[in-house]
Amino acid sequence: MKANILVQSSANTYSVSIGHSVLETEIKAFFDDSSVRECFILIDENVGKHHGKRLKKIFDNAKIDFTSFVIPEGEKSKSIEQWSRTLDFLLQNGVRRNTPLISIGGGITGDLAGFVAASVLRGIPLIQVPTTVLAMVDSSVGGKTGINHQTGKNLIGAFYQPQKVIADIEFLESLPRKEWINGLSEILKYGAISDSTIIERSSIFFEEDIHSIEKDSLIRLIEDCVSVKADIVKKDEFEGGVRAYLNFGHTFAHALEKATNFDEISHGEAVFLGMLAAINLSKSLGYTIDDAPLKKFRPLYNFNINAEALDTDTLIQYMKSDKKMIDSDIRFILLDGWQHPVVKTVNEQELISKAWLYLIHEL
Ligand SMILES: NC(=O)c1ccc[n+]([C@@H]2O[C@H](COP(=O)([O-])OP(=O)(O)OC[C@H]3O[C@@H](n4cnc5c(N)ncnc54)[C@H](O)[C@@H]3O)[C@@H](O)[C@H]2O)c1
């Protein structure tokens, strides 16, 4: 089966195609509608190792000339240095305003590629080919692109929409289990803020061999997550209102990632813990919400953090320096019941500390 979702933005309307082994058909269709037969590819190093031969065949069959550049794995690639090296590569190889840039990788490659596409020659066409669960359900859709700065994550970037997203679940066959679980957190997030069936259907992640998850169930789940995101982006592309709901769990998560130097915990793992902490805070503030539906997934996660090194005052300080803060009060996305997100500014430091202690206890 194949799914297709349209994302409407102020810049364009583009489709997200989701399926198994759909890349070749989708690439052919994109270039058949275009006047160019060449492109640049930015590819995650591990994706290149596992899928390089298959990808070469796909582009050769489609008669598309490509020049590729490997992006090293890891958050360090979302850096000014890597952005600059990638611009050098494109400019030295004769990039033109109409040459598409194709990102093939997870959220790291996609966020970097998006910002490169937005900035080189003031913008070239971008195609996102997400290869992780997280990138398929979240980072490849919606136009947030960017890199990190030494003072914090995603501090440099642009809203820049792709022209096409192709989520081919064949890529997931080589994705390590840990990365599947990393992506599960963002899936659960959509369930928490918008669609209860998403949480129930995420039970497929309990499959003993995660790579044998039934394909159609997975495609449907990705489709429904992308639909939630597309709907939110349509209403609030530049995050003045409801798009903030997508940050459920993220205020805690970003501070935790920063406190662990972005290398002890993945983004998705931090988001899972962040959602539990946000529910704890919701309860402390009097909202009625039971964390059991989310807690059920706790056994799937393996955290490897030195909990003793975490200090709640420092974590709260990191929350205050998050770029989403408008003033020194901390704004949270909380739940007033499942699928009822609320934006709330919280001044009660002791309740925030309590939520952090709860999170640390979960490690
Ligand atoms: N732009 C957005 O809206 C948005 C939303 C959520 C997260 N993000 C960002 O996404 C990033 C995390 O993305 P991610 O979780 O996809 O991480 P990632 O890009 O680092 O990929 C995770 C790991 O999997 C490997 N990999 C990727 N695809 C593979 C495949 N098919 N087979 C084998 N190995 C593969 C990578 O080399 C890497 O080691 C963070 O920087 C986060 O801030 C952005």
Is pLDDT of 173 > 60?
A: yes
User: Does 250 participate in catalysis according to the annotation?
Assistant: yes
User: Does 361 participate in catalysis according to the annotation?
Assistant: no
- Calculate how far, in angstroms, residue 132's C-alpha sits from the geometric centre of ligand 1: 6
Task: Please give the pLDDT value at position 326.
Answer: 57
Is pLDDT of 147 > 60?
A: yes
Length of the chain: 363
Least confident of 38-52, 166-180, 319-333, 343-357: 319-333
- Confidence band for 152, pLDDT divided at 50, 70 and 90: confident
Is pLDDT of 19 > 90?
A: yes
% pLDDT > 70, the chain: 98
* From 53, 122, 306, 308, the catalytic residue: 122
- Calculate how far, in angstroms, residue 108's C-alpha sits from the geometric centre of ligand 1: 5
* From 254, 258, 283, 331, the catalytic residue: 254
Task: Please give the pLDDT value at position 119.
Answer: 98
The ligand 1 atom nearest the CA atom of 145: 1
Report the C-alpha gap between 215 and 200 in whole angstroms.
Answer: 17
Q: Which residue segments constitute the domains of the chain, with CATH numbers given?
A: 2-233 (3.40.50.1970), 248-361 (1.20.1090.10)
Task: Please give the pLDDT value at position 324.
Answer: 60
Report the C-alpha gap between 199 and 304 in whole angstroms.
Answer: 25
pLDDT (average), residues 2-19 = 97
Q: Which of 42, 43, 108 to mutate to test the pocket of ligand 1 (most atoms within 8 A of CB)?
A: 108
Determine whether 221 is exposed, middle or buried from the number of CB atoms within 10 Å of its CB (0-12, 13-18, 19+): buried
Q: Which residues of 110-132 are buried (b: 16+ CB within 10 A; e: fewer)?
A: bbbbbbbbbbbeeebbbbbbbbb
Q: What is the DSSP string of 128-197?
A: EEE-SHHIIIIITSS-EEEEEETTEEEEEEEE---SEEEEEGGGGGGS-HHHHHHHHHHHHHHHHHT-HH
Is pLDDT of 189 > 70?
A: yes
Task: Please give the pLDDT value at position 285.
Answer: 97
Report the C-alpha gap between 350 and 345 in whole angstroms.
Answer: 14
pLDDT in tens, 258-292: 999 888 899 999 999 999 999 999 999 999 999 99
CA gyration radius for the chain?
Answer: 20
Is pLDDT of 101 > 90?
A: yes
Task: Please give the pLDDT value at position 322.
Answer: 73
pLDDT in tens, 306-360: 888 899 999 999 998 776 655 667 999 999 999 999 999 999 999 999 999 999 9
* From 51, 189, 258, 267, the catalytic residue: 267
Is pLDDT of 232 > 80?
A: yes
pLDDT (average), residues 151-156 = 87
Question: Which residue's CA is the nearest one to ligand 1's atom 2?
Answer: 139
Question: Which residue's CA is the nearest one to ligand 1's atom 27?
Answer: 106
Q: Which two tokens stand for residue 277?
A: 């902490």
Report the C-alpha gap between 38 and 83 in whole angstroms.
Answer: 22
Pocket of ligand 1 (CB under 6 A): 44, 46-47, 50, 73, 75, 78, 105-109, 111, 131-132, 134-135, 138-139, 142, 144, 154, 171, 174-175, 179, 182, 267-268
* From 75, 186, 223, 257, the catalytic residue: 186
Mean model confidence pLDDT for the chain: 95
Report the C-alpha gap between 206 and 216 in whole angstroms.
Answer: 16
Least confident of 95-109, 201-215, 251-265: 251-265
